[in-house]
Amino acid sequence: EAQVTQNPRYLITVTGKKLTVTCSQNMNHEYMSWYRQDPGLGLRQIYYSMNVEVTDKGDVPEGYKVSRKEKRNFPLILESPSPNQTSLYFCASSDRPIRDTEAFFGQGTRLTVV
Amino acid sequence: RKEVEQDPGPFNVPEGATVAFNCTYSNSASQSFFWYRQDCRKEPKLLMSVYSSGNEDGRFTAQLNRASQYISLLIRDSKLSDSATYLCVVNRPTSGTYKYIFGTGTRLKVLA
């Protein structure tokens, strides 16, 4: 089954404790991205990757890091989480070019930073 | 002003009603257009792409007006299962690739 898998689904952590949210897709997609979704703000792109070892900042990259060492995996790293990073996070993947193609989303990770 | 604007709703409609959602976008470089559906606390899923000629998929009809930079979604004969948030999405070129820009969504509740 074609899918994007994120882990964990739910996470409560404390300020400053490094964490990683994993994302894996089995569709051989080149393009992957991370979004955060907050009430009234919609989905905002954090980082994206057009291929292995190629990553770039989205609209709200501060406080986040990513890596793309393999095509299927695109982890999101919060080196020192803060309460303003409490949000619902989605990983997405699509074929390239993404102009007319569907984006497939993971099930989401609900992160709370206290 | 947001690049993609939607009425947040909620739209509360009875079963069987016809409901229309509108969306406007501000960047004329936008190339493709979509409606995604998002159930509560779940991931967005593609409902349909939107073309200038208009397109229909069962009870759903989407329209695009490039001149007015306006997108619409019409749902006929609403079902309880249509209750969800509908995201208007545009795709535009940026830095050698394309980027999805999401509206904040319109919430629909279909009542029995």
Report pLDDT digits (tens) over B11-69. 999 999 999 999 999 999 888 999 999 999 899 999 999 988 889 999 999 999 999 99
Q: Among all residues of chain A, which has the CA nearest to that of B33?
A: A100
Cα separation of B93 and A58, whole Å? 13
- Residues of chain A with Cβ-Cβ distance to B105 below 8 Å are 42
Q: What is the CB neighbour count within 10 angstroms for residue B94?
A: 15
Please tell me the predicted confidence (pLDDT) of residue B31: 87
DSSP structural state of residue A103: P
Return the closest-CA partner of residue A107 out of A85, A92, A94, A86.
A92
Q: Which residue has the higher pLDDT, B50 or B1?
A: B50
Cα separation of A62 and B56, whole Å? 41
Please tell me the predicted confidence (pLDDT) of residue A98: 60
pLDDT band at A93 (very low <50, low <70, confident <90, very high): very high
* Cβ-nearest to B32 among A48, A56, A100: A100
Query: A57: distance to nearest CA of chain B, Å?
Result: 11
* CB contact set of A38 (below 8 Å; sequence gap of 6+): A44, A87, A88
Say whether residue A89 is in contact with chain B using an 8 A CB cutoff: no
Please tell me the predicted confidence (pLDDT) of residue A79: 96
Cα separation of A13 and A114, whole Å? 6
Contact A49, A72 (CB under 8 A): no
Q: Among all residues of chain A, which has the CA nearest to that of B7?
A: A40
Average pLDDT over residues A29-38: 94
* Cβ-nearest to A107 among B43, B46, B49: B43
Say whether residue A10 is in contact with chain B using an 8 A CB cutoff: no
